[in-house]
Amino acid sequence: MKYVIRIVNIVVILLLSNILTVVKIVDLGAFKIPAIILLVLWFLWLNISPSHVNKKLETKRLKRCANGRELLVMFLISTAISIIYCIVGFFGTYGIPGFKEDYKLWLLNILMIILIENTVFWNGIIRVYITSEQLGFRIRVWGLICGMIPIAHLIALGVIIKTTGREVSVENTKIIKNKERHDDRICATKYPILLVHGVFFRDYRYLNYWGRIPKELEENGAVIFYGKQQSAASVAECGQEIADKILEICKDYNCEKVNIIAHSKGGLDSRYALNIPGIKEHVASLTTINTPHRGCEFADYLLSKIPQGQKDMLANTYNGALKRLGDHDPDFIEAVTDLTASACKKRNEELTDVEGVYYQSIGSKLNVAGNGRFPLNFSYHLVNAFDGANDGLVGEKSFPWGEDYQFLTVNGKRGISHGDVIDLNRENFDGFDVREFYVQLVAKLKKRGF
């Protein structure tokens, strides 16, 4: 049914676009005016509601996005057919009269096509630009630039159609799945979840470090808290802040323990917190995500090679910016130094895994550097030279820690980056559903009794 409606709509667009020659070719007699009125009304309607599939979509945003995409599909097909029609008609072949004998009619027909097709295109592109979350800034800008370049504009339009189509399908399926299992509350763990961010980031209300993950977990029953430690400070200082946060949660939420899920340096901060007296009793589990437990050898190299003056200038710039963003005592050099292989080796000798807490870890890697988002696509090469296969920031050998270790990967060139594992870019891609991964991760903690 979907494709029947699409074909009918495309025919309407084609007839209206080429109405000047259609009425010359086909003798409609007394039905000419009613036929034109019917075409105009149908055209207006298809621009308002171009697809019947919206009845199956769960949200207004997805419906509007699907409508916009459908308009772009119809624009692409009808424009291609109209162009062929005009070219063939210009040479007066295949029985298409009018153009060869009357170039004015040919030009007017082209202007009519431009008017009708532009209406369909801009209606569609504005809808998807406003409603799509997966297009992102990069594809939107690329689409605007390529829109002025022949051939490239077709490629850009194809990317937009493919991306929005996948978004509508994935997001709608996810909404339905969450509704179906809502009563199961598979993420309703015995103890709340404490999400601990990594270095150079903070927990912001409107710019969540963990992307769409917290909302997905909460929709499946989880109770979420955030570490809110400084973005750039030593492991010891951040660890103390995490320890204070654990005690605060247990007191205010009236719970005995928490489950920690920590990313990157947050995993080191959390391990340190567990060694602070009076904290291990309040932690059921620690899950580290792409944490450099054995440090980053490239960090040792950079700190040893960069002149002190440049390090001080960089540190002062960062510290000033981070203080304005909420850190009360940022220390860029301390934060980076604590990520070196040498510092992590020393810390691992001093810190022990505390009894009674379940430790597990997760890691991933980029398959091809170019498929990582900036700046990980550049840092990958540096990390690779010192630490081997990596996620754009941390070497694969540095991830494993605890009783269980899971390595995430996908087939093909993309891989899973340091940012992908926390949904930093809010991006859907083949082979890895980051939100569902965390749902199943927390569901397993629930099954363990945590």
Tokens of 222: 């989880």
Q: What is the pLDDT of residue 94?
A: 43
Tens of pLDDT, residue by residue over 15-27, are: 888 887 776 667 6
pLDDT tens for residues 363-398? 999 998 887 788 888 899 999 999 999 999 999 999
Instruction: Indicate the residue among 154, 178, 202 that finishes a domain.
Output: 178
Q: Average pLDDT of 348-374? A: 92
Asked if the model's pLDDT at residue 250 lies above 60, the reply is: yes
Q: Are residues 250 and 370 in the same domain?
A: yes
DSSP string, 72-120: HHHHHHHHHHHHHHHHHHHTT-TT--STTT-HHHHHHHHHHHHHHHHHH
- Domains in the chain: how many in total? 2
Per-residue confidence (pLDDT) for residue 226, from 0 to 100? 97
Position 213 pLDDT exceeds 90: yes
73-101 mean pLDDT: 73
Predicted confidence (pLDDT) at residue 188 exceeds the cutoff of 70 = yes
Kind plus residue range of the DSSP H or E element containing 202: none
- Position 99 scores a pLDDT of 54
- The three-point CA angle 71-122-103 to 5° equals 95
pLDDT above 70 for 92? no
The 10 Å Cβ neighbour count of residue 150 is 7
What is the average pLDDT value for the chain, to the nearest integer? 90
Residue at which a domain ends, from 116, 150, 178: 178
**How far is it, in rounded angstroms, from Cα 147 to Cα 75?**
14
Q: In the predicted model, is pLDDT for residue 70 greater than 80?
A: yes
Question: Is 90 exceeded by the pLDDT of residue 71?
Answer: yes
Residue 164: per-residue pLDDT:
96
128 with 224, same domain: the answer is no
Q: What is the pLDDT of residue 322?
A: 82
Note whether 192 and 331 are same-domain residues. Answer: yes
Domain boundary among 144, 178, 212: 178
Residues 201 and 125 both lie in one domain? no
Residues 166 and 251 in one domain: no
Q: Is the pTM for the entire model greater than 0.95?
A: no
If you average pLDDT over residues 170-186, what whole number do you get?
96
Q: What is the pLDDT of residue 62?
A: 95
Average pLDDT over residues 199-205: 85
Q: Residue 406: pLDDT above 60?
A: yes
Residues 239 and 263 in one domain: yes
Closest to 418 (Cα-Cα) out of 352, 339, 346, 323: 339
First vs last Cα of the chain: how many Å apart?
A: 49
What pLDDT shows up at residue 327? 84
For residues 201 and 243, state if they share a domain. Answer: yes
Residues 300 and 239 in one domain: yes
User: Same domain for 32 and 172?
Assistant: yes
* Residue 194 pLDDT grade (very low, low, confident, very high; cuts 50, 70, 90): very high
Give the sign of the dihedral formed by CA 332, CA 335, CA 339, CA 343: positive
Distance CA 19, CA 7 (A): 18
Residue 328 — pLDDT band, cuts 50, 70, 90? confident
Let me know whether 273 and 422 are in one domain.
Answer: yes
- Domain range for residue 114? 2-178
Q: Is pLDDT above 60 for 175? A: yes
**Stretch 136-142: mean pLDDT, rounded?**
88
Asked whether residue 171 falls in the same domain as residue 226, the answer is no
What band does 292 get if pLDDT is binned at 50, 70 and 90?
A: very high
Lowest mean pLDDT among 144-153, 210-219, 351-360, 382-391: 144-153
Check whether residue 173 and residue 217 sit in a common domain.
no
In this predicted structure, the answer to whether residue 95 has a pLDDT above a threshold of 70 is no
More confident residue, 21 or 136: 136
Please give the average per-residue pLDDT across 283-287, as a whole number.
98
Q: Is-contact 160 72, C-beta < 8 A?
A: yes
Structure confidence at residue 361 (pLDDT):
98
